Amino acid sequence: MSAKINLKTLSGDEIHHFIKDLGLPKYRAEQLLHWLYQEYVLSIDDITVFSKELRSTLKDCAFISNLKIIKSIKSADGTEKFLFSLEDSQTIESVLIPDKDRLTLCISSQAGCALGCSFCQTGKIGFIRNLKAFEIVDQIIAVNRLLSLQATKDFINKSPSPLRGDNAPLLKAPTVGFGTPSYLKRGKGELISPPLRGGEKGEGGVCGLTNDRLRISSKITNIVLMGMGEPLMNFNEVTGALWRIVSLTGISKRKITLSTAGIVPKIALLAEKAPGVNLAVSLNATTDETRDKIMPVNKKYPLKALLNACRKFPLAPGRRITFEYVLIDRVNDSTEDARRLIWLIKGLRCKINLIPLNPHEGGSLERPQDKKILAFQQILKQNNLTVLLRESKGQDIVAACGQLRGR
């Protein structure tokens, strides 16, 4: 008997071939993809649109894997960090960052990292392994599942009777285990109170009333590949994951940003294999001498080669490259550094994210004083550069930039 297939390892096209090989109609593939990537089901049994017989047929040859959440911790600023266990017991972290008009998930592409940047905790672990495409995407599915469940609970708890309490006969609670489809069943012809019109916004997210369901959704809107690992050193799996994210989860490529330490040959290839995805470059120094010390990858791909690759990177109208610059006291925060940075990126359509160093366990580098940070920013602004001073969220839970260690 052949081994069962993990459905999450299959691309959209492969799901279609799988369904066709079973002798099933094409629309079953679309249903399966929807329930995997939009309803976040934990098992084949949870795909209630399929008959019992069809579910049994699928279970004979396939299964659905799920990332295991070991723990999650929420910051005072609302940022939430998730520690996931992979099938081989390796661990990775993802960070959910709420903002006024978006929910951004920072995801990992590797367990550990080979680059050894001096300001980053992940590099201290060393490289363990690349993540598979489905493991990258599954971080999004797992967090969306939690968001959907929490939004549903919040809606019930904040709604007047008969939506909640012991005497709430009209709504049946979701039954798909810990992570549920984002639906609440409606009762036998009774009107749900309070009535909601399609698309009306509620406390838990966007609510819409259909013929027999009340949909409660709260989901990730933006993705940044800025978690553990160097995405461009896991190129094939990352680009495969990007295609799935865009085509199957409903997140626009314009709302996805990939950050690299500067793997020069892969930057041009990224534009070819994942066109439209935003590029961020972790720059962090204005001379090769300094960058060699804090980012060893610079010895292989120095600043000139990196910036040439950035100049050739195709940008859609209105899009810019983001240069991330971690400010480190007495390392890269001088007036001369600011002036060299202006010269280095001259003519590039870009913006600069200044990130004061986030402290981490065992680190010898320090954050500059606020007056030096502001002075550095002001020099850039005076030269008409778009500069954002990014105070990283989640510092109190060790979830900020450079602090992830997979534990």
Three-class SS of 41-91:
CCCHHHCCCCCHHHHHHHHHHEECCCCEEEEEEECCCCCEEEEEECCCCCE
Same-domain pairing of 252 and 117: yes
The per-residue pLDDT for range 187-221, each reduced to its tens digit, is 333 323 333 333 333 333 333 333 334 445 578 99
Cross-strand pairs, 217: 206
Report whether 242 contacts 264 (CB < 8 A): no
Residue 120 falls in the annotated catalytic set? no
Do 29 and 167 have their domain in common? no
Cα distance between residue 292 and residue 287, in whole Å = 8
Residues 192 and 243 in one domain: no
- The domain boundary, picked from 217, 240, 268, lies at 217
Instruction: Estimate the crossing angle of helix 264-273 against helix 303-312, to 10 degrees.
Output: 10
User: Quick one: 268 and 343 in the same domain?
Assistant: yes
Query: Sign of the C-alpha dihedral, residues 164, 168, 169, 172?
Result: positive
Burial class for 59, CB neighbours closer than 10 Å (0-12, 13-18, 19+): middle
Determine the pLDDT at residue 270.
Answer: 98
Q: Which two tokens stand for residue 335?
A: 């007036």
Write out residues in the chain with pLDDT < 50, as ranges: 166-215, 394, 399, 402-403, 406
Q: Is 401 a catalytic residue?
A: yes
Q: Does the residue 403 lie in any domain?
A: no
Task: Kindly report the number of other CB atoms within 10 A of residue 146's CB atom.
Answer: 19
Q: Which amino acid is at 380?
A: L
Q: What's the structural domain count of the chain?
A: 3
d(CA 134, CA 84): 14
**Listed residues 217, 243, 265: the one ending a domain:** 217
Structural domain for 10, as ranges: 5-63
What was the pLDDT predicted at 204? 32
CA 254/CA 275 separation, integer angstroms: 10
367 shares its domain with 228? yes
| Domain C-terminal end among 217, 252, 271 | 217
pLDDT at position 124, please? 87
**Terminal alpha carbon distance of the chain:** 38
Q: Which amino acid is at 298?
A: N
CATH number of domain containing 383: 3.20.20.70
- From the candidates 80, 93, 135, 237, give the one annotated as an active-site residue: 93
**Do 130 and 157 lie in a common domain?**
no
Tokens 């069962």 map to which residue? 4
Residue with tokens 């002036």: 339
**Same domain (yes/no): 52, 96:** no
Does one domain contain both 203 and 297?
no
Cα 399 from Cα 123, distance rounded (Å): 15
358 inside domain? yes
Give domain status of residue 383, yes or no. yes
The string of pLDDT tens digits covering residues 344-388 is: 999 999 999 999 998 776 678 999 999 999 999 999 999 999 999
DSSP letters spanning 88-136: TS-EEEEEEEE-SS-EEEE--SEEE-SS--TT-SHHHH-EEEEPPHHHH
Same domain, 85 and 231: yes
109 and 13 in one domain? no
* Statement to judge: residues 173 and 58 lie in one domain: no
Selected catalytic residue, list 120, 207, 350, 401: 401
Question: What residue ranges in 179-255 does DSSP mark as E strands?
Answer: 183-185, 201-202, 205-209, 213-217, 222-225
Query: Smallest Cα–Cα separation from 399: which of 116, 16, 195, 96?
Result: 96
Same domain, 378 and 307: yes
Handedness of CA 91, 95, 96, 102 (dihedral sign): negative
Among 126, 142, 137, 191, CA closest to 406:
126
pLDDT for res 122:
85
Instruction: Give the Cα separation of 138 and 292 in Å (integer).
Output: 35
CB atoms within 10 A of CB 83: 18
Q: Kindly report the CA angle at 201 between 172 and 242, in degrees rounded to 5? A: 90
For the range 207-211, what are the long-range contacts, defined as Cβ-Cβ under 8 Å and sequence gap of 24 or more?
Answer: 207/155
In DSSP terms, 103 is beta-bridged to 98
Give the SS3 label for residue 250.
Answer: coil
Which CATH number fits the domain that encloses residue 29? 1.10.150.530
